[in-house]
Amino acid sequence: MAFVPPKESFAGRVFPVTIGTGVQQTFGGENTLPFHSFEGEVPNRPLIAYEIQDVSPEDWPETVRKVYEGVSGDPVTWAKYCEEDLKAKAIALRLVGTHPDSKDLSAEDAAKTVTDVLGAIKVPLIILGSNHVEKDSEVLVRAAEAAKGHNCIIGKAQEANYKTIAAAAMANDHKLIAMSELDINLSKQLNILLTQMGFDKEKLITDPMCSALGYGLEYTYSVMERIRLAALAQNDAVMQPPMLADVGMYVWKIKEAQAPEDLLPEWGSLEERGVAWEAMTASSLLMAGSELLIMRHPKAVDAVEQLVDELMT
């Protein structure tokens, strides 16, 4: 008798999410575990967005900052560089300059930056606040208004400010990132609260938060894995939005991505080490179930895209 490999099927499916207008990208939509096309449907490849900021990234390590030398002083120039030179499929604009501890730029400043960036690129835009709860409530409302008609992703809505940000995303027809703090129950609760106020669950992206390799990645992986299994095996509609892994911001602040070679020569090349750390973190979170990644270093992006090519074949 010929051997027939066992196959596992699921009742649930991850919602597909499409962003952008002229150039559109769709991620999610699978009804099986990550890259298990031999067991189900994986209609869309994960989407990687290049991160840019509204102000010069002075807190980024030199190994990644030098890649954008000459363009990172202006978000429009930076966005165009990512689209034209790096062939970015999406751009993630982080409005860190609006944080009170940064430059405390106003919501109007943020809206102008969003408008200028959208006018310069054709690929979809993800608009991220500074992660200051109160300030994001002002900034992301104006940013959502400025981006109306462009089918962007707005984020991140948290338990303390989700009503304001979700209302702005709904009113201006955007997708929304819902961020909770590495707990499947908190993630589900926030998604429930958002749907109860009328936000379409098929326009949500779940951000359970993430961590870098060596800094709690195993815990992050287990939370993401449980979310994805709840979506597929339990057919839990609240858990079926695609997931975000905001990789770059976590990887490039750790010791392994910054420690100089002269202090730790046994760790090898600093640049190769940082690129490998971002690529390995991103790859791990893809396996955990994330469908949308935000990354920084082009070499790390290229490595992950090559992996996805191989896994999607």
130-185 pLDDT tens trace = 999 999 999 999 999 999 999 999 999 999 999 999 999 999 999 999 999 999 99
Q: Write down the H helix ranges in the chain.
A: 62-65, 75-84, 107-120, 133-146, 162-171, 184-196, 217-232, 247-251, 270-288, 298-312
Place of tokens 């010791």: 255
Q: Is the pLDDT of residue 1 over 80?
A: no
Question: Going from the N-terminus, what domains does the chain have, and what CATH number goes with each?
Answer: 17-308 (3.20.20.20)
Q: What is the pLDDT of residues 53-112, one digit of tens each?
A: 999 999 999 999 999 999 999 999 999 999 999 999 999 999 999 999 999 999 999 999
pTM: 0.96
Confidence of residue 22 (pLDDT cuts 50, 70, 90): confident
Residues 62-79: tens digit of each pLDDT: 999 999 999 999 999 999
- Beta strands 47-53; 292-295: pairing state: parallel
Angle of helix 162-171 versus helix 184-196 axis, rounded to 10: 50
- Asked if residue 156 has a cis previous peptide bond (ω within 30° of 0), the answer is yes
Determine how β-strand 244-245 pairs with β-strand 153-157. Answer: unpaired
